[in-house]
Homo-oligomer: A and B are copies of this chain.
Amino acid sequence: MYVILVYDIGERRVGKMLKHCRKYLNWIQNSVFEGEITEVKLKELVIGAKKIMNEEFDSLILFKSRDQKWLDKQIVGKELSNIDNFL
């Protein structure tokens, strides 16, 4: 399945969350990830994310699609390849 993941996480937890999500998906913007993932791996991702998050303040949204072909992506501005320079 194809997944888009976006989070809004407290500054203290964001580094850990970034590292966790990158284990499963491709990092495409500051707090946005995408990629192909199995149902089992996605469950693992969410369980791990919940351990990092403070669910009262932090938010994580997943958009799931059976196939990436249903989605068309358009990027405006800075290209993803620049992102890694900030870390």
Q: Which residues of A contact B (CB under 8 A)?
A: 4, 6-8, 28-32, 46, 49-50, 53-66, 70-80
CB–CB B63/A78 < 8 A: no
The secondary structure that dominates the A interface is: strand
Copies in the complex: 2
A42 → B minimal CB distance (Å): 9
A35 → B minimal CB distance (Å): 13
Given contacts A6-B6, A29-B6, A70-B70, contact A76 B53 (CB under 8 A): yes
CB–CB A71/B70 < 8 A: yes
CB–CB A28/B73 < 8 A: no
Query: Which partner residue on chain B sits nearest A55 by CB separation?
Result: B77
CB–CB B50/A76 < 8 A: yes
CB–CB B8/A31 < 8 A: yes
